[in-house]
Amino acid sequence: MIKIFDFNKINIDKVLNRKIESYSAYENTVKEIIEYVKTAGDKALYEYGEKFDKVKLTSLMVTKQEILEAYNTLDSDFVDVLKRAASNIEYFHSFQKREGFEKVSDSGVIVGQKFTPIEKVGIYVPGGTASYPSTVLMNALPAKIAGVKQIIMTTPPMPNGKLKAEILVAADIAGVDKIFKCGGAGAIAALAFGTESIPKVDKIVGPGNIFVALAKKQVFGNVGIDMVAGPSEILVVADNTAKAKNVAADLLSQAEHDKLATAVLITDSKVLANEVALEIEKQLEKLPRKNIAKESIDNNGKIIVVDNLDKGIEIANEIAPEHLELCVANPFDYLDKVINAGSIFLGMYTPEALGDYYAGPNHTLPTSGSAKFSSPLSVDDFIKKSSYIYYTEKEINKISRDVVEFANREGLQAHGKSILVRCKDYE
């Protein structure tokens, strides 16, 4: 059962028990997989597909015929749902597009900044028996809006060699250019270094299990990555106007993800705290993923009772959750007070699940407190910024002494000389 704490009687850090897990036991395995894919290419991917996904493939690339079959297989109503979700996601992310700037001084000096899309991006989508079309939309659409020229997707196939129809249709709607049937650390290695079939990309985004996460860490530097995400988190700040059944449902919506997921309620109402605890037990019994959700709630679930909502927001900022719900009477009164959160859900009718699938903002969010210094996946993740400078002969002569003084102070005389050789008084 979920534990209830009085904030005045606890150490918040000990209650949350956030710790950095050591996965050293898996690191050598991941390294071996990466090295084998680097040397053996497609051959390694076929072998890993047979070993891990129990599938014997003759081709890694998804054909246009397979995508057409997916449309014919999938319920047309759900295709429409995917299209409406994609429209919402496109709408939100379209406002993130940025333009460069150029400033010209009276003396003719030009400074500016330009934005350039990343050329090739790889998207990893968990697959096999699972199906996450939302992940496809959330990763591919911002890349497309940014202007990425080629979007490559990898996802593990089912034992029959096929991919889930939902995944293929979502990829087609989002404008993915090529889709490949491979998963795990091997897929990350293929995207990072390229194989006979799979192009090397410049950046890899998308979630995955511990092997995928470690592989992304190991290939970082050769390619860019979005983030290394931890277990899912939800923090609900609620007052006495919130309904216990709604709050309990929202906490369980994240607890069912993973045994390591964290679900926390902060409230200034002891009555609500007790009602939510009872409601969680009631709703747990009806969940198909009851065992996973129960372990998450028992080990990581918390209800913290505070004296007032301002204190609750203060604690929320310290926790810096992936998802923050403000289930309070006047949520916009507290919005500006929130400084650390991946995504914020305002009011009684905005559950976190809206953000997972449909509303528009990205669901790839910073976890484990990293919302203190990082942000949700966005169009910015698929562009590069370059600055540029232009000086006239007159202006470089004018400021030459300043730059040379800097260079000499740092003991880098060649830097200074590169300025002086352009000046008219240099001999």
- Residue 267 makes CB contacts below 8 A (sequence gap 6+) with 237, 238, 239, 240, 242, 273, 276, 303, 304, 305, 306, 312
3-class secondary-structure state, position 398: helix
Q: Which tokens belong to 128? A: 């096999």
What are the distances in angstroms from CA 277 to CA 2, 129, 190, 347? 6, 32, 46, 21
Three-class SS of residue 18?
Answer: coil
* DSSP codes, 20-87: PPP-HHHHHHHHHHHHHHHHHTHHHHHHHHHHHS----S--BPPHHHHHHHHHHS-HHHHHHHHHHHH
Q: What is the C-alpha to C-alpha distance for residues 275 and 272, in angstroms, rounded to an integer?
A: 5
The three-point CA angle 104-109-110 to 5° equals 55
3-class state of residue 90 by DSSP: helix
Closest CA to 70 of 172, 177, 168, 152: 168
Over the range 277-303, which residues count as b (16 or more CB within 10 Å of their CB) and which as e? bebbeebbeeeeeeebbbbbbeebbbb
Parallel, antiparallel, or unpaired: how do β-strands 233-238 and 262-267 relate? Answer: parallel
Q: Which residues pair with 384 in a beta bridge?
A: 116
Instruction: Determine contact, residues 264/238, Cβ cutoff 8 Å.
Output: no
Q: For 216, how many CA atoms within 13 A lie in the half-sphere containing its CB?
A: 22
**Would you tell me how many other CB atoms lie within 10 Å of the CB of residue 109?**
17
List the catalytic residues: 322-323
How far apart (Å, rounded) are the C-alpha atoms in residues 39 and 124? Answer: 21
Tokens representing 212? Answer: 């995928």
Decide if 303 contacts 3 (C-beta within 8 A). yes
Instruction: State both tokens at 265.
Output: 């309620």
The Cα 330–Cα 148 span in angstroms is 40
